[in-house]
Chain A
Amino acid sequence: MEPVPAASSSFLEADRLALQIGERWLCCEFSLSLGAGECLVLLGPNGAGKTTLLHTFAGLRTPTAGTVRLAGRPLGDWASGEVARYRGLLPQQQPDHFSSTVLETVLVGRHPHLGRWGWESAEDESIARGALQDVGLADMDRRDILTLSGGERQRVAIAALLAQAPRLYLLDEPTNHLDLHYQIQVLELFRRKAGNGCAVAMVLHDINLAARYADYIILFDGRGGVVAGTCEQVLQANRLSHAFGHPLERHGLDGKSVFLPV
């Protein structure tokens, strides 16, 4: 993580950010800046504060100290509809109690682009269908979401996020429920989004997938400590072992590092 640059070329900046839940500090004063084409991964044990940090980036909660800026502007200065067109969040879970078709669910992502009385246009529909195509669900558009499997449901949520078309993607465990094929496909998809001028920050649990797709990593140790930096800086066996409370070993494989639990 470079120091915060003066210009607002960065999509997401955190300035001396600190998060506290109750009496517990999740992370203490750290800063970061994420620009176009960059991909940040949050790693750490359960309950370490990854989701809390992601939600703080999204503006769903205010940090205990410090500020979050999107495109150089503090989060508080954004109108709710405006910020919804700039950043999108994939929640960890998709609670569904009411039935709805896959296409309708994806069209919900177009909400911030429509006026108060607006209805989805043919263009919105083609954006939604394109998003379904991207996650391999093009032929499922009329299915009821309550009949889908967990992995299909996750891909519908990803398609809804793609339909929202933000510049900054905040993903909470995007590979949840996905089989290996779609884990890779989804991560490649967001890597391409970054390549096309967006920025991505995501929570992952797989260290090796993180190593493969991240430019920067924030590693939580679950005790309030946070290490931030490039993959090479952060992904070290001793640090990871300390953070996850389980010994990990680094293995070289075709010139790449692979981390395996002992």
Chain B
Amino acid sequence: MKSLKINNIKWVWLLALLALYSCSGGGQYWRVRVEMPRPVSFELERFEELIITDFLVLKARTDFDLNKETTEYFAFEFEKNIQMPVSRVEIMPETVETFEQDDFWTGLPTENKDAIILTGTIDYKSEVRKALVDREKRQFEDPFPDKTSLEERKFYTLFFNLYLIDSKTGETLYQKNFKETRNYQNPNQTAYFAYFDLIQSVKDKLFQAFLGESLLQERYLINK
């Protein structure tokens, strides 16, 4: 009989605690992950058409056609990601000064009058750097001494100077320089393969600027 009463009291306390918990809302703060939009640097989609011209290659390579790969890559990526027609016009800027010559760009054959021209310069360099690298001991009581060895790394750098030019006026509306570098431990890494790693980084940054892609951030929502 006595144990029954003790059990009853336990149940009442439990009920009281449950009621308190339900009224308090369970918690005061919530940490939520929110996809925050980034502001757009340049509103590309206010134009009717995007024209991709050839890119001025500052130093031609023998192993692959830098201009061809770049134009094809951008044509494919822009067609996939933006809601406007994308076309190719095979016209090569002769020198760096060409980008400032309004007449050169207003004479392009376009289907839409209100088109934006994507062009620029590319330079792609590779080098091998050697350095003495210290290897840390794996364990504190490792009997072998620290090893210092001469190691090689292949470095690839892509310099990309992008212009967005108004086809009506020939005026440069947006200009941005990119410099992407990556190193590879693999001595057999090809320049062609590394190029696609680097151009992808350029593309990601470009699309952030044009499409304002979102960024995952944490925020607190407060309940009380």
Q: Do A and B come from one complex?
A: no
